Structure 1
Amino acid sequence: MTFPAARTLDGTYPRPQLVREHWSDLGGVWAFAYDDADEGLAQSWHTAGAAERFDREIVVPFPPESPSSGIGDTGFHPVVWYRRTIGAGDLEAIGVRDDAPRVILHFGAVDYRAMVWVGGRFAGEHEGGGSPFSFDVTELLAAAQHDGDPSGIPIVVRAEDDPADLSQPRGKQDWHREPHSIWYHRTTGIWQPVWLEAVPEVAIERIHWTPDLVGGTVAARIRLSRPAREGAELAIALSYDGRPLGTVTVPATGRAVEATVPLPQQRNGQGYEELLWSPEHPRLLDAVVTLGADTVHSYLGLRSAAVARGRFLLNDRPYYVRSVLNQGYWPESHLAAPSAEGLRAEAQLIKDLGFNAARLHQKYEDPRFLFFADTLGLLIWGESPAAYEFTPTAVNRTVREWTDIVDRDFSHPSIVTWVPLNESWGVQHIAHDPRMQEYAASLVSLTRALDPSRPVISNDGWEHVDSDILSIHDYEASGEVVAARYGSAEAIDALVDGVGPAGRRMLVRGARDPEAPVMLTEFGGVSFVDRAHDVDGAWGYSAASSPEDFAERVGALLAATHASPVLAGFCYTQLADTGQETNGLVTDDRRPKAPIERIRAMVLGQAS
């Protein structure tokens, strides 16, 4: 049976652009323990003799703070431990064989610092709450099998997440015991999938796809697990809907292989748009990459993202961005996705509400959500979760994890803008501290060096130092005021040259780039709570008294942005109620607060 194309899968596989046929999901019930005294390392909780230390169970990959985990404890627990065993069935499921003898243990994300043991032996460690990591555990499994424990081979994970450490990139996770203001419950430990797979001695680890619309080619940069043997070749085959588009075979030397696949069909200047990716036509090319015994399935989209003459350009055409702020937080599972289907439903809801884009706010989102953005057609702004102090440690941690995420998400066509900083969080004094200005500028330069194919915003909202898009946050409650403030180029010039809506300057270094589009990238924030969804401490930037009042207030703000001849797009705050922030267009269980057809008409600028 032919393995299906990666783009046609159901989103369950945790790494959607590098899919192998055989794998084993390690999600489900694990043994679990709190280690509030941080004595587990000294007492060797990773060994078989310490199994009794794990005094409760948790459902992975849901954080222990969440109800879905089966624990639901939101208190301070800076160190936690996990344990489960794997047996012959898990290894059989991943297809270990002579031409695929290496076993890889993958973690989608563990917040914040993780140590891992297999069979009582140390596998490795990782720091970064949102970035993936993996270990080759082949020898550890062989040693454990030699030990002959009939109960199976234990995997033990120690996760450390200090709620008081402000140098950790934490995003909207609160450092207080209880949520306050715009922050909410913490996410500790494993919160994205854990899985096993078997690979050859030399395996494909990462694929970066870079389409060239003008040249009609696709460039591939492929990273290998180790240098290929002399004489090895790597083959790439691209197709669309079963129709071959282009193939190439190149020598595989070293650990990085580069190849360019010509697409002859794209030479027809009148027909090349038939394959382009956009929210209206999310066409994806299927890709099969083969190196010896290793075959992986991938996909890509032919699209470009740029800015020019005050407009955002998608596929070299001006494109008006209708975006919504999405925090990716669920009451039952917190930052973890409730399921793959929940992620698909989230992307579809955003589209159904009339948006063509989403800004993933203060979170490195599960790659499976990006898969649904790719397949359903949704533009994405990728944003870094903030640390809340400016220290060498905070800088180092942010840069390292940001680099890992740009690498992870490079090939998703849905991602069209990078946002490494938001509202001067972590660089609170950037307006007058040159160190913070240099840091913000360096993040932009680093991002452009890693990925020159997308616009970058230095500091979303205000106090920009070097941004491809001049983004503004403005929570003015009156639609009339918003209409006047953004109703002409002269009005926006006055705002940029003076003090911004939040009392902060728009620019803190250099002159305004005339090519940069102006976008209102946070606005709205209208709170409405009915009796059925009463929330303690509910608040928003303004409040509505009834469903009709809510719809009228939101409609007036959206109409004001659509009326601006200068704005190149907007991002409405926000998609869903999040904790005490009740300013969503939908409730926390994703029920629209006004008829969905009415919200859609307002978002599209079609409301009367």
Structure 2
Amino acid sequence: MTQKRNEYPRPQFQRENWINLNGDWNFTFDDRNEGINNSWFKNGLPHESKIIQVPFAYQSVESGINQHEFHDIVWYERAFSIPDDWKDQKVHLHFGAVDYRCWVYMNGSLVGFHEGGHTSFHFDVTPYLDQENSNHLVLRVEDPSNDETIPRGKQYWKEQSESIFYTRTTGIWQTVWLEPVDTVHFTSIRWTPDIDHGSIGVEMEISDVVENLKVDVHISFKGKTIINDTISILGSYTKRSFDLRNRFTERSNIHGAGWYWSPENPNLFDVELRLQDEKAERDAIKSYFGMRKVSIDNGKLLLNNQPYYQKLVLDQGYFPSGLLTAPSDDSLKNDILLAKQMGFNGARKHQKIEDPRYFYHADTLGFLVWGEMANAAEYSEEAAARLTREWIEAVKRDYSHPSLIVWVPLNESWGISRVARDKQQQSHSLAMYYLTKSLDTTRPVLSNDGWEHTISDICGIHNYQSANEMKKAYESSERAMSTLPANRSIYASGFEYNGEPILITEYGGIAYKVCGDGWGYSSVQSGEELIQEYKDITEALFDSPVVQGFCYTQLTDVEQEINGLLTYDRKPKCELSKIKEINDRR
């Protein structure tokens, strides 16, 4: 059996024992919706079923199928057995992401259901395991092609991609794995750094509580033990704080200079957590965290209490052979390395809740990330509910990554096209802002990136004008607020600018065609022209007294969109060191 993406998929919550279920699965389309009536979940898929390479969607080359036609219902099937030493433990079945609705069957019985195409979920499959250890796993997945209220991001509602929309992703697109756990185990860990007090807060949720339960906490920094402590567990939720600052004796570390996390110094603390009672160890987790703070003070965006100019690049997270799924873990890492090579200190992950492995590489390499929800095309009450449910899961999953510094629940009024004056859609924007703040008090929230803001911590503006026009537009905050990018006002009716940090969160979009046809917001004919155009327009932003950062469109070409600094297969379109020279001006 071939298998790709065999690295551990959840690096901030890692257990030693697990089985990767990526690789060959049976797969079939169910265009007549006959699978349920014919009991495919019990009897198996039809003999004419195909072989698919999980975790790649059938629309991708990596899947081995590579078909772009819409199939609203698909089925997956595979067999597995569990090791003998797992027999006395619970077995959890994990899915990194399945787009969009998923029913999971084990040995003919329905185990559970999940809706949401971008977030992780798991089920306890222990009661459904076969006593002879021959287990039959089946998935039924629905990805409706005609529902524009589903949060899809850049996935197109037509079969052939065009303009700014790309090939659909249906079904499993992140790793599937099995994991044994004790009846008493960690269900979640959350890290909250506090650099002002020099401490790290940890929140732990436990599946069950027994007598004399405790957690041994071991925190180390660059191989040196910093914390070695024990916490008594009295309930299913436990919150503690550990003093880190006073554990450092070197004078260079007194104010955190040697152990804060930043793109320039991505310092991480390694953690081992062991859950045990008087008789045995119940669970063991490896994790990590970074000590950093993102804040806004007097209209300035700060990192670790210092003004920080953000030089971001728009990253769609698409790959030629895998679409939303990176063909390898190194592919995710390489995108960050290429961006850093060009002098960018972060990325806005556009209309995609990214694979946790990407955040891991951003944490370890030192790369800022703006986390953005994939939006729907149209508004309805059900669309609002779907977006809310999935966004809650995303914020909870990715909360502890130090690289993730801004939340963006809505973009360019997608799914709220009448937000400029419609009170209901304004209420949805406000609700997403306040919901996110209620889940995470440590990060700024940009409620509707691009224009037509309601209440937002950051004023993010999308503007694809020329360098001269940009220079005039951002001479002052007053001029900035009077602009009408895409003929949209910066703030929705009834709302106004209140001194929030101004960032140009999309600009450029310079198209340079290396091969094939495509489009961009403006065009050049050579790599040298691309560098000059990038220089002119970026320096116009550098010269602005009010702009505190930017996000250039974009890192790579994506399908027919050719405004990347790199081609779709990650080949440079120009001399990358020249882009870095420009970016290094600030």
Q: TM-score, normalised by structure 1?
A: 0.92
**Aligned position for 2:70:** 76
- The 8 Å contact of residues 521 and 570 in structure 1, kept in 2 or not, is answered as yes
Match of 1:137 among 118, 121, 125: 125
**Aligned position for 2:228:** 247
- The 8 Å contact of residues 216 and 266 in structure 1, kept in 2 or not, is answered as no
Structure 1 distance, partners of 2:233, 2:559, is 51
Whether 1:168 and 2:174 are equivalent positions in the alignment is: no
Against the structure 1 CA distance between its residues 604 and 163, is the aligned structure 2 distance closer, same or farther, given a 3 Å change threshold?
Answer: farther
User: Displacement, 1:523?
Assistant: 0.2
**Aligned position for 1:483:** 471
Q: Give the 5 Å matches for 1:154-553.
A: 154-224=136-206, 226-263=207-244, 264-265=246-247, 270-292=254-276, 293-476=282-465, 478-486=466-474, 488-489=475-476, 492-496=477-481, 498-508=482-492, 509-514=494-499, 516-530=500-514, 533-535=515-517, 538-553=518-533
- The 8 Å contact of residues 266 and 272 in structure 1, kept in 2 or not, is answered as no
User: Displacement, 1:499?
Assistant: 4.2
**Aligned position for 1:96:** 86
SS in 2 for 1:552: helix
Q: 1:296-355: CA deviations, max 9, x gaps?
A: 000000000011223210011100000000000011100011111111111111111110
Structure 2: runs of 5+ lacking an equivalent = 277-281
Structure 2 distance, partners of 1:423, 1:391, is 17
Structure 2 distance, partners of 1:50, 1:31, is 9
Whether 1:55 and 2:49 are equivalent positions in the alignment is: yes
User: Displacement, 1:154?
Assistant: 1.4
- The 8 Å contact of residues 6 and 22 in structure 2, kept in 1 or not, is answered as no
| Mean Cα deviation higher: 586-595 or 259-268 | 259-268
Structure 1: runs of 5+ lacking an equivalent = 1-9
Q: 1:402-424: CA deviations, max 9, x gaps?
A: 00000000000000000000000
- The 8 Å contact of residues 27 and 77 in structure 2, kept in 1 or not, is answered as yes
Q: 1:136-167: CA deviations, max 9, x gaps?
A: 111211xx224x7xxx3111111110121111
- The 8 Å contact of residues 31 and 54 in structure 1, kept in 2 or not, is answered as no
SS in 2 for 1:493: helix
Structure 2 distance, partners of 1:174, 1:390, is 16
What is the letter of the counterpart of residue 204 of structure 1?
F
User: Displacement, 1:571?
Assistant: 0.2
**Aligned position for 1:5:** none
Match of 1:556 among 505, 517, 536: 536
SS in 2 for 1:461: coil
**Aligned position for 1:16:** 11
Structure 1 distance, partners of 2:12, 2:453, is 33
SS in 1 for 2:86: coil
Match of 2:105 among 108, 117, 121: 117
Structure 1 distance, partners of 2:120, 2:55, is 13
Structure 2 distance, partners of 1:41, 1:599, is 55
SS in 1 for 2:77: strand
SS in 2 for 1:273: coil
What is the letter of the counterpart of residue 512 of structure 1?
Y
User: Displacement, 1:546?
Assistant: 2.1
Against the structure 1 CA distance between its residues 383 and 449, is the aligned structure 2 distance closer, same or farther, given a 3 Å change threshold?
Answer: same
Structure 2 distance, partners of 1:461, 1:558, is 18
- The 8 Å contact of residues 116 and 158 in structure 1, kept in 2 or not, is answered as yes
- The 8 Å contact of residues 219 and 261 in structure 1, kept in 2 or not, is answered as yes
**Aligned position for 1:7:** none
| Mean Cα deviation higher: 501-510 or 161-170 | 501-510
User: Displacement, 1:495?
Assistant: 3.1
- The 8 Å contact of residues 248 and 259 in structure 1, kept in 2 or not, is answered as no
Against the structure 1 CA distance between its residues 34 and 554, is the aligned structure 2 distance closer, same or farther, given a 3 Å change threshold?
Answer: same
User: Displacement, 1:51?
Assistant: 3.6
User: Displacement, 1:251?
Assistant: 2.3
User: Displacement, 1:172?
Assistant: 0.3
Structure 2 distance, partners of 1:499, 1:319, is 25
**Aligned position for 1:568:** 548
- The 8 Å contact of residues 112 and 128 in structure 1, kept in 2 or not, is answered as yes
- The 8 Å contact of residues 45 and 53 in structure 1, kept in 2 or not, is answered as no
Against the structure 1 CA distance between its residues 527 and 27, is the aligned structure 2 distance closer, same or farther, given a 3 Å change threshold?
Answer: same
- The 8 Å contact of residues 310 and 568 in structure 1, kept in 2 or not, is answered as no
What is the letter of the counterpart of residue 485 of structure 2?
P
Structure 2 distance, partners of 1:245, 1:205, is 25
Structure 2 distance, partners of 1:513, 1:434, is 20
Against the structure 1 CA distance between its residues 280 and 11, is the aligned structure 2 distance closer, same or farther, given a 3 Å change threshold?
Answer: farther
Structure 2 distance, partners of 1:54, 1:438, is 50
SS in 2 for 1:275: coil
**Aligned position for 1:598:** 578
SS in 2 for 1:36: coil
What is the letter of the counterpart of residue 576 of structure 2?
I
Structure 1 distance, partners of 2:153, 2:46, is 35
Structure 2 distance, partners of 1:205, 1:544, is 52
Q: TM-score, normalised by structure 2?
A: 0.95
Q: How many equivalent residue pairs?
A: 573
- The 8 Å contact of residues 66 and 332 in structure 1, kept in 2 or not, is answered as yes
Q: 1:1-38: CA deviations, max 9, x gaps?
A: xxxxxxxxx99210010001111111011110000111
Whether 1:33 and 2:28 are equivalent positions in the alignment is: yes
What is the letter of the counterpart of residue 34 of structure 2?
E
Structure 1 distance, partners of 2:47, 2:420, is 50
- The 8 Å contact of residues 453 and 495 in structure 2, kept in 1 or not, is answered as no
Structure 2 distance, partners of 1:11, 1:124, is 25
- The 8 Å contact of residues 462 and 472 in structure 1, kept in 2 or not, is answered as yes
Structure 2 distance, partners of 1:314, 1:329, is 29
| Mean Cα deviation higher: 505-514 or 432-441 | 505-514
Against the structure 1 CA distance between its residues 567 and 277, is the aligned structure 2 distance closer, same or farther, given a 3 Å change threshold?
Answer: same
- The 8 Å contact of residues 97 and 119 in structure 2, kept in 1 or not, is answered as yes
